Amino acid sequence: MGLYRTKAIVLRSRKFAETDSLLTLLTRKKGKITVIAKGVRKSNSSLRGGVQLFTYNDMLLYEGRNLDIVTQSQCLEAFTSIQENMEAMAAASYWCELLDKFVPDGERDLSLFALALAGFHLLALDYDELTMRALEVKLLLQRGYMPELERCVSCGRILQHGEPIGFSAVKGGVLCGSCRQGDVVPMTSESVRAWQQLQRIELTKLGRLKVSGGGLSALDKALEKYLAVQLECPLKARPILREIVQTP
């Protein structure tokens, strides 16, 4: 046991004991871990600024027997614009839930850490629906959960442009017009192409991608089903984000 320093993103925070908090962190050194921040809920705590949700921090931790303990934390990026925008805050909460659900404890992955941090940078700049769909697709790709998007998963035929398309979350891919039956999500050639483009495009170049409202809606429904199947449970923050975005 001893001290170690690491960069960390705060994904979750929950009350523990009288003045402590349990934090779920995504760290560069140890991957996703749960730690304790002692006395952090006291008004005079020196840790408070460096353990807030959605913040990127330089942390000094002590390896405990059961839980590591935050001893120092310096906030490197607070992403304050997220806190000032209800849609961005809901999107950031959803991004945290996705990362928490898809990333196992203790798995160190620097490319995943970079993706997680890039997500917060994007949401801090300007939240929109395409950004969130891009982050979902990039996370699925990074974790190896990509569906079949070119051939029908039932008969193996390559999809033709303009034909009716279905998406089966259970079967893991698209269905042609002939095989499109059962519990499928209707999709369009545009929404399938958008999913494929989101797999390839750099996040910094998202502004170049144009998708219609109908294409985004179909992509949204297919991704929601697919994420729930892969995680074997629905995501709690996703419907909250949708409700906030759709509220006039």
Q: Which of 155, 12, 37 is nearest to 94 (CA)?
A: 12
Q: Residue 157 corresponds to which tokens in the numbers above?
A: 């035929």
CATH number of the domain that residue 213 is part of: 1.20.1440.120
**Domain total of the chain:** 2
Same domain, residue pair 65 and 139? no
112 part of a folded domain: no
Q: What is the pLDDT of residue 247?
A: 65
pLDDT grade for 64, boundaries at 50, 70 and 90? confident
CA distance 217 to 162: 17
> Do 134 and 199 belong together in one domain?
yes
Domain contains 136: yes
Cβ neighbour number for residue 220 with a 10 Å cutoff = 18
Residue (of 248, 247, 246, 244) closest to 91 by Cα position: 244
Query: Is residue 55 domain-shared with residue 163, that is, in the same domain?
Result: no
pLDDT tens-place string over residues 77-132: 999 999 899 999 999 999 999 999 999 999 999 999 999 999 999 999 988 999 99
Write the single-letter amino acid at 17.
A
Give a yes or no: residue 48 inside a domain.
Answer: yes
Full domain range(s) for residue 67: 3-79
Q: Please check whether residues 70 and 152 belong to one and the same domain.
A: no
DSSP secondary-structure letter at 53?
T
Q: Which helix (H) or strand (E) holds 87?
A: helix 86-102
Are 133 and 71 part of one and the same domain?
no
